[in-house]
Amino acid sequence: MKREKIVLAYSGGLDTSVLVRILSTDYGYDVVCCHADVGEARDAKALTDRAKAAGAIAMEMVDAKEEFAKDFCFPALQANALYEGVYPLSAALSRPLIGKHLVDVAHQYGATAVAHGATGKGNDQVRFDLAVKGLDPALKIIAPQRERNISRDEAMDYAAKHGIAVPTTRKSPFSIDENLWGRSIEGGVLEDPNTEPPEEAFAWTKSWQDAPAEPGLIRIGFEAGYPVSVNGEKLSPARLIARVGEFAGLHGVGRIDLMENRVVGIKSRETYECPAAVALIAAHQDLERFTTLGLSARTKGQLDSTFAQLTYDGFWYSPLRSAIQAFNDEHNKFVTGEVTLKLFKASLRVVGRTSPFGVYNKLLSTYGREDKFDHRAAEGFINLLGLQLQEYSRLHGGGA
């Protein structure tokens, strides 16, 4: 009998290698592996060999770095998206992209199902599942790890028993997820909320002690809310993120320690290093403040937090997220210019900005002699502004 096909989100690690075999023998599928590279620098050849050796009938490698940068990271940047005010959503942004490629590959191969290796207690399962439901609700979703809760030791035993090649690199004491927008580090000593993350948890950011003794300046150019250049040099989205990340990481900028609320209700201690995202969001936010009105900025602030929450919760492919993005594109129409950041020993400050559209008129704001503001107009303005307060106070004898 002809077997149905399933497309598995394949990372190349022990867990997903074991899943190839489990999906094939226990679930009865022909397994197509799909790996979307979002900037974590895996060896493509080794990955393909390992997938095939584990029993995959095919392996689809997608270089998704530019797509991830342009269609996922940059819209999140336009939204200044920080979950719970601090986490730039690096892992959360990559799941809908991987989900989209799973669905595309499923269509390409005529597969009836997709699979992923996310556990039942994390956010990633929610993001994968909702991405697939949002893109093709007819596809079946299988998550063996969620169904069986396979431990690391069990996976090792299974791999040894079935002759499945596992990565030879020494296993880090942490669970890592990384892409252009950031790196998340979980597990081990980090599970004690009161233990400072050890230096070896970090790979992209220097400690403040090891950061250069002199401050560094970086100038980021934007067009309509999207970053386009670094120190005057035009760069593609993925290269720009990598460039900013390297510089910020060198200066120790971007480490984050968050007591985080997961979608499934678990509180967890999360450690991140997101040097590019932290620097770019600071720059974008500043240029937005310079070039847009307070009136619209206040509404955008509320939508920004909704955008972050939707992304975290897996609702990337939702009409609300698309609508907010349309608002952001309109709001960012004139967010064009350059922002200078000064980085020094793990700190970051905006120290300058220029734009042809800065809503700033020195003749109005100055305290100097060239002042053109009509000071007397303020009195009538305040008289009307305070009228209701004045009447209330007259009636009740002052006070609130």
| Residues at the site binding ligand ARG, with contacts judged by CB under 6 A | 91-92, 123-124, 175, 177, 184, 186, 260, 270
For ligand ARG, which is the closer residue by CB, 123 or 205? 123
Q: Smallest distance from the beta carbon of 151 to ligand ARG, in angstroms?
A: 16
Contact 182, 86 (CB under 8 A): no
- CB atoms closer than 10 angstroms to residue 313: 17
In 3D space, the residue among 56, 52, 37 whose CA is nearest the CA of residue 115 turns out to be 56
CA distances from 35 to 42, 47, 58, 152 (A): 10, 9, 11, 21
User: In this complex, which beta carbon is closest to ligand ARG, that of residue 15 or of residue 60?
Assistant: 15
Residue 293: how many CA atoms within 13 Å on its side-chain side? 4
Q: How far is the CB of 87 from ligand ARG (least distance, A)?
A: 7
What is the per-residue DSSP string for 316-331?
TTSHHHHHHHHHHHHH
By beta-carbon proximity to ligand ARG, the closer residue of 141 and 230 is 141
The minimum distance between CB 82 and ligand ARG, in angstroms, equals 12
User: Catalytic annotation on 95?
Assistant: yes
Q: Report whether 352 contacts 340 (CB < 8 A).
A: yes
User: Token digits for 337?
Assistant: 């210019």
Quote the tokens at residue 3: 């077997």
Beta strands 30-37 and 5-9 are: parallel
* Residue type at position 229: S
Query: Which element (helix H / strand E) includes 131?
Result: helix 124-135
Q: Could you tell me which of 32, 6, 27 has the C-alpha nearest to residue 115? A: 6
- Could you say which of 124, 177, 286, 304 is catalytic? 124
Helix, strand, coil shares, percent, the chain, to 5: 45, 20, 35
Task: Count Cβ atoms below 10 Å from residue 188 Cβ, excluding itself.
Answer: 16
Alpha helices in 136-177 (DSSP H): 144-148, 152-161
Neighbours of 136 (CB within 10 A): 16
Residue pointed to by tokens 């210019």: 337
Pairing, β 267-273 against β 255-261: antiparallel
**Residue with smaller CB distance to ligand ARG, 184 or 332:** 184
> Rounded to whole angstroms, how far apart are CA atoms 191 and 267?
11
Could you tell me the smallest distance in angstroms from the CB atom of residue 212 to ligand ARG?
A: 29
Q: How far is the CB of 90 from ligand ARG (least distance, A)?
A: 7
**CA 117, CA 145: separation in Å to the nearest integer?**
6
Catalytic residue among 11, 15, 21, 90: 15
Q: Are 184 and 270 in contact (CB under 8 A)?
A: yes
State the Cα angle at 296 between 384 and 319, rounded to 5°.
Answer: 140
Question: Residue 124 CB, nearest distance to ligand ARG (Å)?
Answer: 5
Which of the following is catalytic: 21, 50, 95, 353? 95
Q: How far is the CB of 338 from ligand ARG (least distance, A)?
A: 31
Which of the following is catalytic: 42, 49, 175, 355? Answer: 175
Which residue, 173 or 212, is less far from ligand ARG as judged by CB? 173
> Active-site residue 26, yes or no?
no
What is the nearest approach in angstroms of ligand ARG to the Cβ of residue 294? 32
**Which of 259, 351 has the CB closer to ligand ARG?**
259
Catalytic residues: 15, 95, 124, 175
